[in-house]
Amino acid sequence: MSKATLGSSHRFRPGFWTAVFGFLFLSFCAVAVIRFSRGLGAVTHLSDQFPWGLWIGFDLLCGVGLAAGAFTLTAVVHLFNLKRFEPIVRPTILTGFLGYAFVIVALLLDLGQPWRIWHAIIYWNPHSVMFEVAWCVMLYTTVLAVEFSPVVFEYFGFQTPARLIHRLITPLVILGVVLSTLHQSSLGSLYLIVPSKLHPLWYSPMLPLHFYISAIGAGIGMVILESYLSQRAFGRQLEMALLEPLARGMVVALGIYGLMRLQAIHRSHAFGSIWNLSYEGRMFIIEFTLSVLLPVFLLSVRRLRENPDWLVGASFMAVLGFVANRLNVSITGMEAASGVRYMPSGMEILVSLGLVATGMAVFAFAVRTFPIFPPGSSEQSPGIREEA
Amino acid sequence: MGMGLLFDATRCIGCGACSSACKEQNHLPGEVEDHLSAYTWTTVQPREGLNVRRLCMHCEVPTCVSVCPVAALTKTPEGPVVYDASRCMGCRYCMMACPFEVPKYQWDRPVPVVGKCTMCASRLKNGMPTACAEACPVEATVFGKRDDLIWEARRRLREKPGSYVNHIYGLTEAGGTSVLMLSSVPFEKLGLKANLPAEPPALRTWQVLSNIPDFVGVWAVCLYGVHWITARREDVAQVDRKGAGRHGEDRS
């Protein structure tokens, strides 16, 4: 009865966004076909001088980074025992899982021989950061799937496995936090090996810590942003009582991160390249304003923080600024040493957009199908409850 | 014993015999290009009135070997840094990380692999010199034990100090390389990376990676400690609440 009601109220209605998402998904498939018949050179602007482009800078670095809300919130709820945040844990874990799935699909296109992606399991090189990254992707994707599985078990009415996972939740969450700490920081460690190539505005021995803390900040921004998007899409109330304290956490994380960045730039004597407004300097100013200055200052003001529009706007800036930072590290900061300018090809951009669109579509499907948001927070839910 | 190559830019006549010999030895398709590629593992570039060879430097502590997640790249005891294409998944971290920008990729192939000089590792195993050194008509590239080549390079610097800049490129660059170079003009003018630190880049990541096992244990215990404290506080709070309630009843 309840399912039937849900089904009829969310009947598939193709509209503008469905067409856009459909187009992006089909473009993604088309690019994949060309890439596997004619090589990476036919679809990307990658070259011997610039071997890592948008798919690493955006899909990998941002896909993993913006999934950081999952480990942050599971730690807040299950380790710090702040149970009032429990209602937003499930959508956050789902975002995390989709973020990691997004990364894996992107890697399947970006890797030269993706059918060997499992080689890291049998051929070990513990000296390689990429080896650490590979293991973290595999293990943490599994942890996220297990953390999310009770939702699916509940849907199908399997009580025993759901109860088993519930009992194991503490070690599971600790494993997830440890793996995430390693993984978020290891993406920064990837660039420790290129002191002579990465611009001093971004290179620092502290890169692993920069990546870790900025991911926590932007990961919280993502949680706020997706609460807003699901509120718009599913007519839900924005849980301001939960999001406002999260925003305070974001201010602290981004504040610490901003100070660390300034300290690192001071240590590498790179302030000059900001003041002289070089290419790198201008990109840094855009990044730092969006990722640190605006979110921290806006959300430090209580009146703005408690206003849904400002809260969502500032979180959006933090997420954009985070993306700008990862693109600056992986692309802007590497261009001078490579001797070439890299601009992603149209097909590279289509693939990234297609993946984002697919991720959002899967999220929307999952939210409609499974009990992800708590009952009572959706407009339709009370009615359904009564009928059931 | 580590073998190596000594290239003397003041001797090179730019005939390109080394690049052609390399193509033949390694069955590489196409003509010799003016830059390194997946199909041109060594080439001679005219710079500042000299001719300079580009090829894998075969580092003593190779960055590419340290970054490869599947250990497709290895440093053999004889000196060459070799590549096992059957392991490679194509992450291209070696290309990103190499301080000399040597590994190149087959961008035009659906099933691509990395291409780079292997110092003719298979010939070395049979006691033969590299194909490029054998082909060189003027001994601009000579093959030998790295230690002997360092002595030879020092002898040339000592005997003809006016003909060379007083530096052996590859002696300390990025921790030292099996390929050594001599020149009469500063090396950065030949298109080589100058001012590479003597500390191998690989050590920078190892300082982080070697701490992971300790970190995992400590971090997991800390996180469990936090959980234990917060859960305990909740239990105590619950008991207190019950106790307070009963106390109130008693009084009434």
For residue range B136-181, what is the model confidence (pLDDT) as tens digits? 999 999 999 999 999 999 999 999 999 999 999 999 999 999 999 9
The Cα of A115 is separated from the nearest Cα of chain B by a number of Å equal to: 8
Residue A198 · residue B204 · CB < 8 Å: no
Whether B49 and B130 share a structural domain = yes
Pick the residue of A130, A133, A170, A173 with the most B CBs within 10 A to test the interface with B by mutation: A130
Distance between CA A334 and CA B96 in Å, rounded? 9
Give me the pLDDT at residue B217, please.
Answer: 96
- List CB contacts (< 8 A) between A139 and chain B: none
Same domain, B116 and B219: no
Q: How many domains does chain B have?
A: 2
Question: Does the distance separating the beta carbons of A81 and B223 come in below 8 Å?
Answer: no
Tracing tokens 């090396």 back to the chain, one arrives at B187
Which residue range forms the structural domain that includes residue B78? Answer: 3-206
**What ipTM was predicted for this assembly?**
0.91
Q: Does residue B171 sit in the same domain as residue B231? A: no
Long-range pairs of A241-248 with CB within 8 A, sequence gap ≥ 24: A241/A84, A242/A84, A242/A85, A242/A87, A242/A88, A243/A311, A244/A305, A244/A306, A244/A311, A246/A85, A246/A220, A247/A220, A247/A299, A247/A305, A247/A311, A247/A314, A247/A315, A248/A299, A248/A305
| Pair B170, B234 in one domain | no
Q: Are residues B202 and B217 in the same domain?
A: no
DSSP state of B147: H
Indicate if B56 and B132 belong to the same structural domain.
yes
On whether both B177 and B239 belong to a single domain, the answer is: no
Q: Which of B67, B71, B88 sits opposite A193 (nearest CB)?
A: B67
Listed by number, the residues of chain A in 193-212 with a beta carbon closer than 8 Å to a beta carbon of chain B are: 193-197, 205, 208
Residue in B108, B201, B205 closest to A189 by CB = B205
Q: Which of A47, A113, A174 sits opposite B111 (nearest CB)?
A: A113
Q: Of A51, A119, A193, which is closest to B63 when you measure between CB atoms?
A: A193
Q: Which residues of B fall within a CB distance of 8 Å from A131?
A: 69-70
Do B32 and B151 lie in one domain? The reply is yes
Distances A70 to A78, A93, A228, B56 between C-alpha atoms, Å = 12, 5, 17, 44
Interchain proximity A193–B69, CB inside 8 Å: no
B7: which strand partners?
Answer: B141, B181
Q: Is the domain of B220 the same as that of B171? A: no
Q: B234 to chain A nearest CA, in Å?
A: 8
Q: Which residue of A has its CA nearest to B37?
A: A48
Helix (H) or strand (E) holding B115: strand B114-115
pLDDT value, residue B41:
98
> Which of A79, A82, A331, A338 is the best substitution to test chain B (most B C-beta atoms within 10 A)?
A79
Which residues of chain B have a CB within 8 Å of the CB of A46?
Answer: 107
CA distance B249 to chain A (A): 29
Tell me how far apart the alpha carbons of residues A229 and B159 are, in angstroms, rounded to a whole number: 75
The predicted structure's pLDDT at residue A13: 64
Alpha helices in A158-198 (DSSP H): 159-167, 169-189
Q: Cβ separation of A116 and B231 shorter than 8 Å?
A: no
Give the whole-angstrom CA distance, residue B241 versus residue B235. 10
Of B38, B89, B208, nearest to A113 by CB-CB distance is B89
Same domain, B78 and B197: yes
**Nearest Cα residue in chain A from B90:** A112
Q: Which amino acid is at A25?
A: F
Note the pLDDT of residue B243: 79
CB pairs under 8 A between A and B: 168
* pLDDT score for A367: 85
Is A42 touching B (CB cutoff 8 A)? yes
Which residues does chain A have with pLDDT short of 70? 1-14, 375-388
Tens place of pLDDT for every residue, chain B, 252 residues?
699 999 999 999 999 999 999 999 999 999 999 999 999 999 999 999 999 999 999 999 999 999 999 999 999 999 999 999 999 999 999 999 999 999 999 999 999 999 999 999 999 999 999 999 999 999 999 999 999 999 999 999 999 999 999 999 999 999 999 999 999 999 999 999 988 999 999 998 999 999 999 999 999 999 999 999 999 999 999 998 887 766 555 444
Which of B91, B196, B208 lies closest to A192 in CB terms? B208
**Fold classified for A51-339:** Formate dehydrogenase/DMSO reductase fold (1.20.1630)
- Regarding whether B120 and B37 lie in a shared domain, the answer is yes
Q: Which residues of A touch B113 (CB under 8 A)?
A: 112-113
Shared domain for B144 and B25, answered yes or no, is: yes
Whichever domain contains B175, its CATH number is 3.30.70.20
**A75, A127, A175: residue with CB nearest B66:** A127
